[in-house]
Structure 1
Amino acid sequence: MDCARYLFLIAMLLVSGCEKISGLLGKEGTSVGLTTPVPGGEVDPTYGALVKRSADGVSFRRDLPFPSEIRGKVRIVEDRDHVRVVGQSAIGRETEVLNGKVETLVTYLKRSGEFLLTLDQAERLILDKDDEEVRDVVKPASSGAPEGKTLHYLLGEKGWYHKGARSETDFEVIVWADAVGDDLPNLMVEAGAHPRSQWFSSARSWRKDDRIVLTGNTIKLLEPFNVGGRVTLVFEAEEAVGGHPCGRFAVEGAYSVKNRPSLQGDRHDMEVTITGGHIWASLLYPVILYEDLEEIRTVTSRRGSMQKHLQGSVRLTRSRAWDPAQK
C-alpha cells in the first residue's frame, strides 16, 4: 500500500471539524484498538449486567437504544474447496479452480449523520509459511478492488451521499462510491453499523435446543438483502464474542439472494445451501457478531463489465469487532 497516497486521500476526504474522526482512524485504515474477536472467554461485566434472564431462559433485548457512534471492523474469510470459476470479460473467457483461504477486511466509523468506510484488504490470499499465516500482497484475488481507499458518507435530506473532495479525480474511489451508495443502509446493517430490521422477539425466552424457522423476509435476520428460502436456527448456549454476550445458534437450510452488494463494490446473485455451522447473535442489540458456516454456493459475481460464475464448497467465517462509544 502506498501510505503517502492513502494519507493524502484521507486529508482530501475529511472536512473541517472532522479531526476527531481522523484521530479515531489508525494506520492503514484500521480503527485504533480494534482486534478481530473470536467466540469464547469472559463477558465484559458492563455488558453482562444488561443480559435479560429468567427462570424460562435468556431473552434478546429490544429496548436498548442502538449506539449512535460505533467503531467497527469486519473480517471475512472464505476457505474455498475446489471452487470452479468461469470468468467472462472483454478480453475473453477464463476458467480456473480455487482452493485455499481468502480474506477481506474493512473498517468503519459510524456516528450520527456520518459514516467512513475503509477497504483494508480485498480477497487477499492467505498463505501458510513456516507455521504462520501471511497475506499475499502482490495481487488481490479480486482485481480492481479499491484497496486502501476510504469512503466518507454524510446523511442528507434525501439519504446518504458520498462526500468526495471538490476536485475528486481518483477513479477507483468514484466507482466504489457509486457501487456502494445505492445499498449503503443495508451494507451498514451487514457491517453492524445499523440494527437488523428482522430480529428475535424480546417476549421469547430461549433454552438449549429451542428452534426457529426463518422463511421469506424473516431470513433478513441473516441476510439483510433481497432474500428468500428456508433456514433453521437451533439455540445451543450463551457464549461471549469479544466480551459481548451472545446466543449461539446452529444453522442449516438454503436461501437465494439477488443482486447482493458487497462492501468492496461487487454484485452477486447467489444460491446457498448451509450444510452446518453457527452464528453468534448479540443478546443486547440486533447485531450478529460472528458467523462460521459450511456452505455450497452457486454465485454469479459482477464488477463493471467483468462477470464470474463460481460453484463449490466454501467455509465462511465472518467476524465483527464492534465497539460503541458508550456501553
Structure 2
Amino acid sequence: MVLPRGLMLLPMLLVSGCDKITELMGSAAVEPGLVTAEPGGDVDATMAGLVMRTADGVTFRRDLPFPTEIRGKVRVVEDRKKVRLMGTSAVGRESEWLDGKVETVVSYFKRSGEFLLTLDQAERHLVEKDSEEVREVVKPASSGAPEGKTLHYVLGEKGWYHKGARSETDFEVIVWADALGDDLPNLMVEAGAHPRSQWFSSARAWRAGDRIVLTGNTIRLLEPFNVGGRVTLVFEGEEAVGGHPCGVFSVEGAYQVKDRPNLQGDRHDIEVTIQSGKIWASLLYPVILYEDFDQIQTVTSRRGGAKKQMQGRVCLTRSRAWQPVLK
C-alpha cells in the first residue's frame, strides 16, 4: 500500500473570506470522542435496527443516502519488518534498512460543496517505552506536505479547487494543493468522505465462508484508483467498529497501481502481495472502517531526478473514525 499521512483541522490558512474559513473550522472541530476505533464491542443502538438480514444471511445496504456532512479521522500504522530502502540520485546510490512502527494521522471535515483537509502527524515513529507506545517527533525528509497545515477545497463547475487567496504566501500549502489536483475525489474516497464506486451488491446475502474474487477495476473496492490484479475476499461474519455494524472479510491476493497519489501529494508505483489480512466494511454505507494487512510491498517513488524504492514486509493497519451528521 501507499504511505499515507495524517490530517487535523488547525486554525487559519491565508484564504479569501477569513470569517468564512474560521466559521468552518469551528464547525469542523473534531468532537471529543471522535477517535479511530478498534474492532469489537456492541453495535450502536441507533444503527443496529438499520442492518438488513434475511434467512440467507446479512446484506450490504445500498439504499441509504450517503451523508453530505462527515467528520473523519484516519490513523495508519505501518510496522516495517526489515524493509530495504534503496535510492539513486545525481550523487550516486544509497541503501538502508527500515525497521519499526510509523504512524500517520489525518483529519477532515466534509459538507456539501466544501472539504477541509489537515495533516496532523506525518510518519511519527512509534517506540516502546515502559510497555507503552510513544511518538517520537521524527519525520522523513521525503514528506511532501506540511504537517499542521489545512487545505480548504470548494466544489465548482469544473470540480474541486483549492480556495486560496491571490495573496496566498504559504508556498508549502500552494505546492501541496497543486499536487493533489484532479486526484482529490479518489483521495476523498479513500479517506471515507466519498462513497466507494465499487461495492457489494445489495442483492446478495452473506454467510460465513462465502467468497468473492476481485479482478481489474473491481479491486477499487479496496484500492480506489486505477488498479489491476486478483484479490480474494472470504466473509467471516459481523463485528462492530466504534459501534458501527460491519461485515468482516479475510483478504489474500496481489495487485498493482501505477502513479498512485496520496494525500501528501506524493506519487508511487506500488506492487502489493497480501499474505493475509482483513477488512471491516460498513453494512450501511460504501465505506471501509478498518483494515489490517500483512503485506509484501514494493513502492517506487520519483521526485525531481531522484528515485527511491522501498521493498519488504509491512504489517499495516488503517482505522477510520467516521462520524456522519444525519439530518
Give the TM-score range, shorter chain: over 0.9
Q: Distance in 1 between matches of 2:257 and 2:321?
A: 25
Contact 2:28–2:71 (CA under 8 A) maintained in structure 1? no
User: Structure 1 residues 191 and 132 mapped into 2: Cα distance closer, same or farther (>3 Å)?
Assistant: same
Contact 2:10–2:148 (CA under 8 A) maintained in structure 1? no
User: Structure 1 residues 306 and 45 mapped into 2: Cα distance closer, same or farther (>3 Å)?
Assistant: farther
Contact 2:15–2:163 (CA under 8 A) maintained in structure 1? no
Secondary structure of the 2:26 match is helix
Matched, 1:168 2:168: yes
Secondary structure of the 2:154 match is strand
Matched, 1:21 2:24: yes
Q: How does 1:121-200 map to 2 (within 5 A)?
A: 121-140=121-140, 142-200=142-200
User: Structure 1 residues 13 and 46 mapped into 2: Cα distance closer, same or farther (>3 Å)?
Assistant: farther
Aligned residue in 1 for 2:4: none
User: Structure 1 residues 304 and 241 mapped into 2: Cα distance closer, same or farther (>3 Å)?
Assistant: farther
Instruction: Tell me the CA shift for residue 129 of structure 1.
Output: 1.4
Report the AA paired with residue 132 of structure 1. E
Q: Distance in 1 between matches of 2:286 and 2:237?
A: 18
Q: Distance in 1 between matches of 2:17 and 2:188?
A: 20
Secondary structure of the 1:256 match is strand
User: Structure 1 residues 312 and 235 mapped into 2: Cα distance closer, same or farther (>3 Å)?
Assistant: same
Contact 2:75–2:318 (CA under 8 A) maintained in structure 1? yes
TM-score, length-scaled by structure 2: 0.92
Q: How does 1:31-46 map to 2 (within 5 A)?
A: 32-46=32-46
Aligned residue in 1 for 2:312: 312
Aligned residue in 2 for 1:285: 285
Contact 2:144–2:265 (CA under 8 A) maintained in structure 1? no
Secondary structure of the 2:272 match is strand
Q: Distance in 2 between matches of 1:243 and 1:273?
A: 31
Instruction: Tell me the CA shift for residue 88 of structure 1.
Output: 3.1
Q: Distance in 2 between matches of 1:61 and 1:144?
A: 38
Secondary structure of the 1:179 match is helix
Contact 1:61–1:283 (CA under 8 A) maintained in structure 2? yes
User: Structure 1 residues 32 and 14 mapped into 2: Cα distance closer, same or farther (>3 Å)?
Assistant: farther
Report the AA paired with residue 211 of structure 2. R
The more displaced of 300-309 and 50-59 is 300-309
Instruction: Tell me the CA shift for residue 13 of structure 1.
Output: 6.6
Q: Distance in 2 between matches of 1:200 and 1:295?
A: 24
Contact 1:274–1:296 (CA under 8 A) maintained in structure 2? yes
Secondary structure of the 1:263 match is coil
Q: How does 1:1-327 map to 2 (within 5 A)?
A: 9-10=12-13, 12=15, 15-26=18-29, 32-140=32-140, 142-326=142-326
Contact 1:14–1:22 (CA under 8 A) maintained in structure 2? no
Report the AA paired with residue 314 of structure 2. V
Instruction: Tell me the CA shift for residue 54 of structure 1.
Output: 0.8
Instruction: Tell me the CA shift for residue 20 of structure 1.
Output: 3.8
Q: Distance in 2 between matches of 1:199 and 1:124?
A: 32
The more displaced of 282-291 and 294-303 is 294-303
Instruction: Tell me the CA shift for residue 212 of structure 1.
Output: 0.3
TM-score, length-scaled by structure 1: 0.92
Report the AA paired with residue 39 of structure 2. P
Instruction: Tell me the CA shift for residue 17 of structure 1.
Output: 3.4
Q: Distance in 1 between matches of 2:172 and 2:38?
A: 33
Instruction: Tell me the CA shift for residue 142 of structure 1.
Output: 3.8
Identity across matched positions, percent: 74
Contact 2:297–2:311 (CA under 8 A) maintained in structure 1? yes
Q: Distance in 1 between matches of 2:90 and 2:46?
A: 55
Q: Distance in 2 between matches of 1:297 and 1:39?
A: 25
Instruction: Tell me the CA shift for residue 145 of structure 1.
Output: 3.5
User: Structure 1 residues 144 and 185 mapped into 2: Cα distance closer, same or farther (>3 Å)?
Assistant: closer
Report the AA paired with residue 286 of structure 2. P
Q: Distance in 1 between matches of 2:235 and 2:154?
A: 38
User: Structure 1 residues 252 and 55 mapped into 2: Cα distance closer, same or farther (>3 Å)?
Assistant: same
Report the AA paired with residue 233 of structure 2. L
Contact 2:277–2:294 (CA under 8 A) maintained in structure 1? yes
- List gaps (5 residues or longer) in structure 2: 1-8
Report the AA paired with residue 316 of structure 2. L
Q: Distance in 2 between matches of 1:140 and 1:35?
A: 25
Contact 2:14–2:165 (CA under 8 A) maintained in structure 1? no
User: Structure 1 residues 104 and 135 mapped into 2: Cα distance closer, same or farther (>3 Å)?
Assistant: same
User: Structure 1 residues 38 and 14 mapped into 2: Cα distance closer, same or farther (>3 Å)?
Assistant: farther
Q: Distance in 2 between matches of 1:85 and 1:138?
A: 17
Report the AA paired with residue 237 of structure 1. G
Instruction: Tell me the CA shift for residue 239 of structure 1.
Output: 0.3
Q: Distance in 2 between matches of 1:14 and 1:241?
A: 38
The superposition leaves residues 114-133 of structure 1 with CA deviations (integer Å, 9 ceiling, x where unpaired) of: 00000111111111112221
Report the AA paired with residue 254 of structure 2. A
